[in-house]
């Protein structure tokens, strides 16, 4: 749990100070080899967080990659493949309020429940269009977050209490941004596990609140729990 993890960090600071740790090296093959790439592919099938629950109000939709999230007037959240069942045209390009999905190519129209509502010149299809609703994807809400994928509770496991402590169901999205980088995904994860850069890289922001080189990380199932010491601990580290 978070409290136990924090206590271990405090004990380490009191015993050794912030700059004591173990060093290691990683072979470049971890980032370049085909064998490691194939080993990591199953991770793509795990559930993932795609938005906060507050970011999609009733009657709104939001695209995410090849999917589109939608919440109907009753508040039920669903996810669909963001593609018309006629010619596969992308239906939604940006978050918006809407009563239905209308394909910009031929005007096929779907409800926010994914049901096909209207096909212009339906007689041209001889009934072949019947039942061609949007392809629904597994989506659910847990701890104020929207997830794509099955088996979220089992996937989250012991981190459920950590997520619950965030109280995300009471939060409202202030601003969202996205960035795409041409790099191995592990570089991004490792950046957040490195507490050694705070004093230099974040000198004018979070360094005012956190100690440099005073962090602790541990594996938790498919996840990693990491904590960084706030400056308030600095005075008590030797107590």
Q: Is the pLDDT of residue 236 over 70?
A: no
Strands 223-230 and 210-220: antiparallel
pLDDT digits (tens, 9 = 90+) for 175-221: 888 888 888 999 888 888 888 889 999 999 999 998 888 888 888 88
Query: Which residue's entry shows tokens 């299809």?
Result: 125
Q: Which two tokens stand for residue 29?
A: 């093959």
Q: How far is the CA of 118 from the CAs of 132, 137, 195, 229, in angstroms? A: 11, 22, 55, 57
Q: Enter the DSSP assignment of 149.
A: S
Q: Which of 212, 193, 194, 214 is nearest to 203 (CA)?
A: 212
Query: Which residue's entry shows tokens 């039920």?
Result: 76
pLDDT digits (tens, 9 = 90+) for 2-52: 667 677 777 776 666 655 556 778 899 999 999 999 999 998 899 999 999
- Walk me through the domains of the chain, giving residue ranges and CATH numbers: 2-46+176-233 (no CATH), 48-150 (2.102.10.10)
Quote the CA–CA distance of 77 and 82 in Å, as a whole number. 15
Q: Which two tokens stand for residue 79?
A: 């996810």
Q: What is residue 238's predicted lDDT score, i.e. its pLDDT?
A: 44
pLDDT digits (tens, 9 = 90+) for 100-145: 999 999 999 999 999 999 999 999 999 999 999 999 999 999 999 9
Residue 6 makes CB contacts below 8 A (sequence gap 6+) with 227
Strand ranges in the chain using DSSP code E only, listed in sequence order: 48-52, 60-64, 67-71, 77-81, 96-97, 100-102, 109-111, 116-118, 136-137, 139-142, 145-148, 210-220, 223-230
């Amino acid at each position: 749990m978070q409290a136990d993890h924090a206590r271990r960090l405090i004990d380490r600071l009191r015993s050794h100070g912030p700059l004591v740790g173990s060093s290691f090296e990683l072979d470049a093959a971890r980032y370049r080899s085909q064998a490691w790439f194939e080993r990591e592919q199953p991770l793509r099938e795990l559930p993932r967080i795609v938005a906060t629950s507050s970011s999609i109000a009733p009657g709104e939709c939001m695209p995410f990659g090849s999917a589109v999230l939608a919440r109907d007037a009753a508040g039920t959240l669903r996810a669909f493949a963001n593609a018309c069942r006629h010619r596969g045209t992308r239906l939604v390009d940006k978050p918006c309020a809407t009563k239905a999905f209308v394909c910009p190519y031929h005007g096929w129209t779907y409800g926010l429940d994914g049901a096909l509502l209207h096909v212009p010149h339906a007689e041209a299809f001889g009934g072949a269009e019947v039942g061609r609703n949007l392809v629904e994807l597994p989506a659910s809400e847990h701890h104020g977050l929207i997830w794509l994928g099955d088996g979220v509770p089992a996937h989250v496991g012991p981190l459920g209490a950590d997520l619950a402590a965030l109280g995300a169901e009471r939060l409202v999205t202030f601003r969202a941004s996205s960035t795409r980088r041409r790099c191995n995904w592990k570089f991004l994860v490792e950046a957040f596990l490195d507490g050694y850069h705070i004093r230099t890289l974040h000198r004018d922001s979070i360094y005012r609140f956190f100690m440099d080189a005073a962090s602790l990380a541990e594996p938790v199932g498919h996840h990693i729990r990491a904590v960084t010491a706030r400056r308030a601990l600095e005075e008590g580290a030797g107590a």
